[in-house]
Amino acid sequence: MKFTLIVIGALTSSVTAFSVGASRGTSFTTRSDAFVSKMAPSKAFTEVKGKDKKVVDKDEKKKNERNVEAKADSKDTEEGEEKKEAPPVNIGWDSHKAVEKVPESLVREGESGPDGNYPMRAKFEKMIREAQLSITKAIEEIDGEAKFQEDAWVRANGGGGMSRVLTDGKVFEKAGVNLSVVYGSMPQEALQAATERGVDRAKGMAPGERVPFFACGLSSVMHPKNPHCPTMHFNYRYFETDGGVWWFGGGTDITPSYVNEEDMKHFHGTYKEVCDKHDEKFYPEFKAWADKYFVIQHRNETRGLGGIFFDDLNDRDPDTIFEFSKEAVNSVVKAYGPIIEKHKNDEFTQKEKEWQLMRRGRYVEFNLVYDRGTVFGLKTGGRIESILMSLPETARWEYDHQPEEGSKEYDFIQACKFPREWGNEEREGAKGTYRHTQEW
């Protein structure tokens, strides 16, 4: 006897590697110019509530001497005077304030946070704001019915963001594109969970000392209704920790329910073309990295059929990496849009729909157990609705379900267990040559 569990409407709102958000319900079309007028820094941005200035843990007080000194100095600062101090010990689950309009930039020189490359922070934020607008506009056009709703928020200790979420569309069950700028501090274990080389990023800090950080990113997940239309995810981010340590990360990946060779050649080929413009080594390296990163280890299979993924990228001039990130995020619609247009009206059976929901169950498993962005958000006090937006509204788990050998479903599982090259890589004989293991 089979036991089936269907989760319906369990979790909503938007995804980002470091998302934090606020109230929903304002139409994207009426809010798209929300950040046009620049706001001067105010108490809402520059003051930290008294409860956030207190270090609760006495042991942490001793370990984090810089925070103690900054808090002592703040007592002598006149009210309303803009000052620079160490970030609070936690971002705070309730530190997000809904606003009708967002300032022209959420990155402001002199705000609480680590010293670093202010011009790059501002440039990266501007780039992803423009990408958020262009991508959501294109997805609305593909859907042809639903509109994105926007949340905007700021935080007392600096930063803020905007979430755009589309639900119950003609084509998309749920689609979200989240932008966030975050200043704060995190435990070293949170940094380790967020990057490939988390320990290195806290170099020079005492054991147990919190790591001041700045993070800016744009992240998205699209869940279409039709089982022949793949789910797509992307995330592009810029990160700094105290002391001038910086890096870029991100990628775009695709999660269909069935293998369609032509679709995968288009998607992977688009990103190979992008990568090759910047470095011919990028695509084979970042494609292999995606195959490795998106492994559901307890299932011994990947979440989907890959794409590109990179992290800790700081091996060349930051402006050079910025240009690569910019072209990659602006290629999302080119890589994904034609596939959805091609299949959004395809007929499908109930069996195919149930298989799609089971694959969404796998998506949930990966995101809740292994995804760095989810772990980072939970460990640093981000907004739950935004962190968990990546999860679909509906998913399904069947007890010990085994696709019949030779079926379309079986072929898809094989592609997840043995990553394929889709005719775009230069390496020979890569198909079916390795299996994922826990050591990965």
Whether the CB-CB separation of 268 and 288 falls below 8 Å is answered with: no
DSSP 354-373: HHHHHHHHHHHHHHHHT-HH
Whether the CB-CB separation of 233 and 332 falls below 8 Å is answered with: no
Of 235, 253, 243, give the one whose Cα is nearest residue 205: 243
Residue 233 is a catalytic residue = yes
Whether the CB-CB separation of 397 and 363 falls below 8 Å is answered with: no
How is residue 261 written in tokens? 């060779």
Q: Among the options 233, 266, 268, 343, which is catalytic?
A: 233
Residues in CB range of 165: below 8 A, 6 or more apart: 12, 13, 14, 24, 148, 149, 151, 174, 175, 176, 389
CA distance 13 to 7: 16
Residue type (1 letter), 233: H
Residue type (1 letter), 293: Y
Of 305, 161, 311, give the one whose Cα is nearest residue 237: 311
Catalytic residues: 233
